[in-house]
Amino acid sequence: MKIGILGTGTMARTLGGRWAAAGHDVLVGGRSAAKAQQLATALGARSGSLADAAQAADVTLLAVAYTAVPEVLDAAGGRGALTGKVVVDCTNPVELTGFSVTSGATSLAEQIQQRTGARVVKAFNLCEAKVWQLDPPSFDGRPLVVPFCGDDEQARATVGALIEDLGCAPLAVGDVTYARHLEAMAALVISLLFRGHDPYTVFNLVTAADEARRKVAGAPVQP
């Protein structure tokens, strides 16, 4: 799969690196050509402009600070370049003030979809980057369950496969309006991290079947 990365930060490095290692064709696009080239070299990927990352990809990961989203989308070509494309939004529109974390009433994912005409899927926004660096991310003896949402069924299936490439379990939770809930959950996680919780603080879905399998296997309960 051809994956374009919009951004050169920690999430771009982590997810892009994992997907490159899984055999995907990754192209890193950044506002700084030098940073994009440096990251691409580190990942064994290709580099280019933000427009290159948007136009040449089957899936585009948006991995920038939320305040930079409008600028980055415009530089990537906006509606003309991204209309109908699958865009994975892992950003969180949160404000950090002292020990207070707040999020907006309308999700950033919905705003991105309206702005670009892309098939936006909200995913990978609930965990700190160090969680995605785990190979695989697992907690309490179980794969990390990754909630994601989007309007388009094919786009959701594509992102679900990328989640599985990380060794995680995809959980489609609904249409793109559910991004409001995922972003609110992320605000809570970020608040906990900001207050000193370790970076591996996560929400993970537990079902009765999971518990039964764990008891049969005799897996220890992790603190």
Residue 36: partners with Cβ closer than 8 Å, 6 or more residues away:
8, 28, 29, 30, 47, 48, 49
Domains defined for the chain, CATH in brackets: 2-217 (3.40.50.720)
**pLDDT over threshold 70, residue 98:** no
> In the predicted model, what is the mean pLDDT of the chain?
91
- Confidence band for 206, pLDDT divided at 50, 70 and 90: confident
40-68 mean pLDDT = 95
Q: Say what the pTM is.
A: 0.91
Residue 43: partners with Cβ closer than 8 Å, 6 or more residues away:
13, 16, 17, 20, 26, 28
Q: What are phi and psi of 182, to 5 degrees?
A: -65, -40
**pLDDT over threshold 90, residue 186:** yes
In single-letter form, the type of residue at position 203 comes to F
- Report the distance separating Cα 121 and Cα 105, nearest Å: 18
61-81 mean pLDDT = 93
125-142 mean pLDDT = 94
59-82 mean pLDDT = 94
193-209 mean pLDDT = 89
51-64 mean pLDDT = 95
- Confidence band for 117, pLDDT divided at 50, 70 and 90: very high
| pLDDT winner (highest mean) among 103-112, 138-147, 164-173 | 164-173
- Confidence band for 223, pLDDT divided at 50, 70 and 90: very low
Residue 8: partners with Cβ closer than 8 Å, 6 or more residues away:
28, 30, 32, 35, 36, 38, 39
Q: CB-hemisphere CA count at 13 Å for 168? A: 28
